[in-house]
Structure 1
Amino acid sequence: MSVQDTIREMLRREPFESFRLVTSSGESYVVHNPDLLALLKSEVFIAQPNSDKRTFIPLLHVTAVETMHNGGSRSRRK
């Protein structure tokens, strides 16, 4: 399963569960609301709640998608 497929699956979960995207630089971004993330063809757009901050992350740089309830990785790219 690709990182894009894993993110899509996480966004569609009912009920929604927060998850974390980890990048190749070691940075991580927590998604608390599925409405604040847009999955594009080659990148992910994340908006920060109650802020004008936003982040574009190339999908090639997403190394892990982790659920928040156990911190375990759902998908890992090498």
Structure 2
Amino acid sequence: MSENTSAEIGALSFEQALEQLEAIVGKLESGSGTLDDAINAYARGAELKAHCQKKLDEARMKVEKIRRPDGDGALSAEPFDS
């Protein structure tokens, strides 16, 4: 994928990326389109999946930071069980 495509995917919210990924999966499962279309869709889907995973990891880290207060009233991190 080009840098423009990567930058465009990077600007998507988790929900937008997931919606696009679901549409790609549906198209690939239906078998419609050419082989080249399927390859391009798969490549974009892989980038969207990586973007969604990054967003989930960022959210997990935020939750870990605010999950439990320590003894002095400050918030401390507790490992997140996935």
The TM-score range, normalised by the shorter chain, is: under 0.3
Task: Report the TM-score, using the length of structure 1 for normalisation.
Answer: 0.27
Task: Report the TM-score, using the length of structure 2 for normalisation.
Answer: 0.26
More helix by share: 2
Higher gyration radius (CA): 2
